C-alpha cells in the first residue's frame, strides 16, 4: 500500500501542474490523468507488483500513465513532474489554489503583472493594478481581496474536519426546514459521502419559492459573507470560514439533483458516460433521451440508477473507485445498518477520569437501545490521569455485576481499554488481563515514532492472547493529529493470523481505521467490531456515523462481529481465546 499512496500523490501533483501548463482543468490531457488516477486509486493490488502490460490493462490507464507508474515505483519520482515544477514553483501553485483564480488568470497575472505568489497578488490588488487587465475589473479586485483575507485567516486550502462540518450542516438544515416555504432539505456533497474533511457544505432544498429561501438563507445568523447569489444557487461563508452552497430544486427533480450534488465528481462523470452510451444525457435535472428530449428518470436516486441498470449505490461508496463495476456485477457488499448492531464494545463511564455518564446510566441506556450484549471498557492503569488501577477495576466489576441483575436483557461484559505502550507493553499483567471478558488495546501516546517502531508495538499487542480487539488503529484526530505511520498490510495479516478484531471507531473526530484500511481488511477477511468509544450516553448515537464509515470502507456485515447474535458472538470470543492459548 505504501507504493500506491506514493503513486497517487505524484499523480495528484501531475494533475495540478498539468492543469496550469494546459491552462484548463478541462484539457483532455488533464482529464485523462484524472481518469487514470481514479482507476489507480480503485486498484487494491500493490501497484509496484504490476508489470507495464498489467497496468495498461486497467481501464483508463494507457501507455503513458502505465510508464509513469513504473517510473514512480522504480525511482520514487517522475521526470515530467520535476520539469513542471520548474515552470510552476510552489508559490505559483499556491496562487492557483486561491478560490476564483484559475489557470488562465494565473498565466495572465504572471505574464502581464509579474505576480508570482499570493503576496504579489495582495500587493497588486492593493495598488489597484488588476483592473488594468482586460477581462478583470474593480469588482474582481474587491472580491479577491475578501477571498484572500479569508484564506489568510484559515490557511490556504482549509478543509474542515467532518466533526465540525456535520453538526454545522445539520444545524443549518434544521433552520431551513423550519421555513414554511421549504418542503425538504438534504445534506449532500462530501459530507454525505463522509469524507474525513470537508471543503464546503452542500445543502439541497426542495421549494416552490427559491428566492424566498435564498433570502432567508443569507439572513441566517451563522452567515458571514455572501459569495454568489442566484435563483437556483447561493454560496455563503459561515462563521469559521466554511463555505456553504445552497441549491433549490423542485420536488420532482430531487433524485437527479441529489446524485449531482452528492458526487463525487468522478462518480458522476462515470454515470454520465454510462448515460451517453445509452443515448441519454444526465444532469442535475434528470436523465434525458438525447434524441427525443424525453425525461427518462429524475424523481428518486433509485429510479435514476435503475434506468442506468444499476442498483442504488450508497453515497459513501460514490468515489469512482470501482463501485460502478461492482454494482453492475452484483458484487456490492451487504452493508451494515444501525439496527444490525447487537452491542457496543468500547464505552466509558465516570469510573474513567474522562467519562461523563455514571455506570448505572450507561447500562440503562444500553438496554434501552436494545443491545443484547455490551462492554464497559474503562481506561487502564497506564493512563494515570484517567485510568483505573486493579483495585478500582475490581470494584467497578462489583457494581457492574449488581447492575447485570437489574438489567437481564443485556449481557454485560467486564472489559477494559488497555494502553499500548511505547514498546508494545500492556497494562496490568497476563494473569489479571485473563480475568476480563473483553479487552480492547489502543495507542494513546507517542504518535511520532518511525513506521517500523509503530508497526512493532501494534504487532506486539496483536500477539497478546488476551487482546480481543485493537482500538482506534491509527490514533488520528481528523484535522488535528495525523495517524501513526503503520505498515498496514503487515498489521492486517497479523490480525487475520491471530483472529484479533479490528475496531471501527465511530467517533466522528476519529473514524479510525481509515476507509482504505477497512476495505483492505474486508478483502483479507479480518474480523471487525464497530464501537462508539462513548464517554457520555449521548454518544451512543455515534453508531450512525460508524455505519456510514463502514460503507465508505465497503465493509460487509458478515465481517462485523457485533452484528452477530449474542450466542454467536460469545462463541466466537470463546473460540478466539481458546485458539490463542488463553486458559
**Which residue number, 229 or 496, has a Cβ lying nearer to DNA?**
229
**Which residue number, 137 or 409, has a Cβ lying nearer to DNA?**
137
What is the C-alpha to C-alpha distance for residues 321 and 332, in angstroms, rounded to an integer?
A: 12
Q: Is 267 in the site for DNA (CB under 7 A)?
A: no
Q: Which of 5, 79, 156, 273 binds DNA (CB under 7 A)?
A: 273
Pairing mode of beta strands 280-283, 286-289:
antiparallel
**Number of other residues whose CB lies within 10 A of the CB of residue 571:** 12
Q: Is 156 in the site for DNA (CB under 7 A)?
A: no
Are the beta carbons of 524 and 496 closer than 8 angstroms? Answer: yes
What is the C-alpha to C-alpha distance for residues 386 and 350, in angstroms, rounded to an integer?
A: 10
Q: Is 263 in the site for DNA (CB under 7 A)?
A: yes
In the numeric block, which cell numbers belong to residue 104? 488562465
Per-residue binder mask for DNA (CB under 7 A), 118-137, x = binder: -------------x--xxxx
Considering only 42-50, 161-169, 260-268, 330-338, which stretch makes contact with DNA by CB under 7 A? 260-268
Q: Which of 2, 100, 171, 430 binds DNA (CB under 7 A)?
A: 100
**Which residue number, 147 or 493, has a Cβ lying nearer to DNA?**
147
CB of 285 to DNA, least distance (A): 7
Considering only 275-283, 358-366, 392-400, 487-495, which stretch makes contact with DNA by CB under 7 A? 275-283
Q: Is 32 in the site for DNA (CB under 7 A)?
A: yes
Number of H helices, E strands in the chain: 24, 17
**Which residue number, 245 or 533, has a Cβ lying nearer to DNA?**
245
What is the C-alpha to C-alpha distance for residues 445 and 400, in angstroms, rounded to an integer?
A: 29
Longest dimension (CA), the chain: 82
Are the beta carbons of 318 and 340 closer than 8 angstroms? Answer: no
Considering only 278-286, 291-299, 429-437, 474-482, which stretch makes contact with DNA by CB under 7 A? 278-286
- Residues contacting residue 435 through CB under 8 Å, at least 6 positions apart: 414
Q: Is 186 in the site for DNA (CB under 7 A)?
A: no
Is the preceding peptide bond at 513 cis, omega within 30 degrees of 0?
A: yes
Q: Which of 105, 207, 352, 562 binds DNA (CB under 7 A)?
A: 105
Q: Is 21 in the site for DNA (CB under 7 A)?
A: no
Are the beta carbons of 446 and 482 closer than 8 angstroms? Answer: no
Question: Which helix or strand (DSSP H or E) is residue 287 part of?
Answer: strand 286-289
Q: Is 276 in the site for DNA (CB under 7 A)?
A: yes
Contacts of DNA in 42-81 (CB under 7 A): 56, 59-66
**Which residue number, 101 or 205, has a Cβ lying nearer to DNA?**
101
Helix/strand/coil for 27? coil
On the 0-12 / 13-18 / 19+ scale of CB atoms within 10 A, 45 is exposed
Are the beta carbons of 476 and 444 closer than 8 angstroms? Answer: no
Q: Which of 16, 43, 196, 200 binds DNA (CB under 7 A)?
A: 200
- Residues of the shown chain interacting with DNA in the complex, contacts defined by CB under 7 A: 24-26, 28-29, 31-33, 35-36, 56, 59-66, 98-106, 131, 134-140, 143, 189, 199-200, 202, 228-233, 243, 245, 261, 263, 265, 268-269, 272-273, 275-276, 281-285
Amino acid at each position: 500500500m505504501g507504493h500506491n499512496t506514493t503513486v497517487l500523490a505524484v499523480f495528484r501533483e501531475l494533475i495540478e501542474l498539468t492543469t496550469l501548463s494546459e491552462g484548463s482543468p478541462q484539457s483532455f490531457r488533464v482529464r485523462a490523468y484524472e481518469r487514470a488516477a481514479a482507476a489507480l486509486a480503485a486498484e487494491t493490488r500493490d501497484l509496484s507488483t504490476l508489470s507495464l502490460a498489467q497496468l495498461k490493462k486497467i481501464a483508463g490507464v494507457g501507455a503513458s500513465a502505465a510508464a509513469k507508474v513504473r517510473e514512480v515505483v522504480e525511482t520514487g519520482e517522475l521526470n515530467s513532474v520535476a520539469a513542471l515544477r520548474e515552470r510552476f514553483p510552489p508559490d505559483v501553485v499556491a496562487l492557483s489554489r486561491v478560490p476564483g483564480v484559475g489557470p488562465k488568470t494565473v498565466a495572465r497575472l504572471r505574464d502581464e503583472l509579474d505576480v508570482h505568489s499570493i503576496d504579489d497578488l495582495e500587493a497588486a490588488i492593493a495598488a489597484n493594478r488588476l483592473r488594468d487587465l482586460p477581462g478583470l475589473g474593480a469588482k474582481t479586485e474587491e472580491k479577491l481581496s475578501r477571498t484572500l483575507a479569508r484564506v489568510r485567516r484559515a490557511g490556504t486550502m482549509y478543509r474542515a474536519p467532518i466533526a465540525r462540518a456535520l453538526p454545522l450542516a445539520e444545524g443549518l438544515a434544521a433552520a431551513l426546514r423550519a421555513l414554511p416555504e421549504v418542503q425538504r432539505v438534504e445534506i449532500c456533497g462530501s459530507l454525505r459521502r463522509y469524507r474525513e474533511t470537508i471543503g464546503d457544505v452542500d445543502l439541497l432544498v426542495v421549494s416552490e419559492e427559491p428566492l424566498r429561501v435564498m433570502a432567508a438563507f443569507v439572513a441566517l445568523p451563522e452567515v458571514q459573507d455572501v459569495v454568489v447569489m442566484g435563483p437556483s444557487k447561493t454560496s455563503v461563508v459561515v462563521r469559521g470560514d466554511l463555505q456553504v452552497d445552497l441549491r433549490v430544486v423542485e420536488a420532482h427533480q430531487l433524485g437527479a439533483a441529489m446524485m449531482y450534488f452528492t458526487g463525487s465528481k468522478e462518480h458522476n462523470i462515470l454515470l454520465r458516460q454510462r448515460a451517453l452510451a445509452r443515448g441519454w444525457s444526465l444532469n442535475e435535472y434528470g436523465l434525458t433521451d438525447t434524441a427525443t428530449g424525453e425525461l427518462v428518470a429524475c424523481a428518486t436516486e433509485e429510479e435514476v440508477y435503475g434506468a442506468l441498470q444499476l442498483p442504488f449505490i450508497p453515497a459513501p461508496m460514490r468515489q469512482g473507485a470501482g463501485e460502478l463495476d461492482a454494482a453492475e456485477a452484483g458484487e456490492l457488499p451487504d452493508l451494515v445498518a444501525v439496527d444490525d448492531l447487537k452491542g457496543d464494545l468500547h464505552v466509558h463511564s465516570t469510573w474513567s477520569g474522562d467519562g461523563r455518564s455514571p455506570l448505572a446510566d450507561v447500562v440503562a441506556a444500553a438496554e434501552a437501545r436494545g443491545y443484547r450484549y455490551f462492554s464497559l471498557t474503562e481506561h487502564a492503569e497506564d493512563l494515570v490521569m484517567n485510568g483505573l488501577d486493579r483495585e478500582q477495576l475490581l470494584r467497578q466489576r462489583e457494581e457492574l455485576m449488581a447492575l447485570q441483575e437489574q438489567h437481564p436483557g443485556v449481557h454485560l461484559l467486564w472489559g477494559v481499554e488497555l494502553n499500548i505502550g511505547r514498546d508494545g507493553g500492556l497494562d496490568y499483567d497476563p494473569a489479571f488481563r485473563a480475568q476480563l471478558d473483553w479487552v480492547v488495546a489502543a495507542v494513546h501516546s507517542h504518535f511520532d515514532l518511525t513506521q517500523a517502531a509503530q508497526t512493532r508495538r501494534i504487532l506486539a499487542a496483536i500477539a497478546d492472547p488476551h487482546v480481543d480487539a485493537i482500538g482506534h488503529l491509527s490514533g488520528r484526530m481528523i484535522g488535528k493529529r495525523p495517524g501513526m505511520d503503520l505498515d498496514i498490510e503487515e498489521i492486517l495479516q497479523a490480525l487475520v493470523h491471530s483472529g484479533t478484531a479490528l475496531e471501527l471507531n465511530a467517533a466522528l473526530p476519529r473514524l479510525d481505521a481509515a476507509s482504505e484500511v477497512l476495505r483492505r481488511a474486508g478483502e483479507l477477511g479480518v474480523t471487525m467490531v464497530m464501537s462508539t468509544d462513548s464517554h457520555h450516553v449521548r454518544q451512543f448515537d455515534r453508531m450512525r456515523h460508524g455505519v456510514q464509515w463502514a460503507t465508505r470502507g465497503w465493509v460487509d456485515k458478515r465481517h462485523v462481529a457485533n452484528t452477530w447474535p449474542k450466542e454467536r458472538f460469545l462463541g466466537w470470543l470463546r473460540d478466539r481465546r481458546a485458539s490463542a492459548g488463553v486458559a
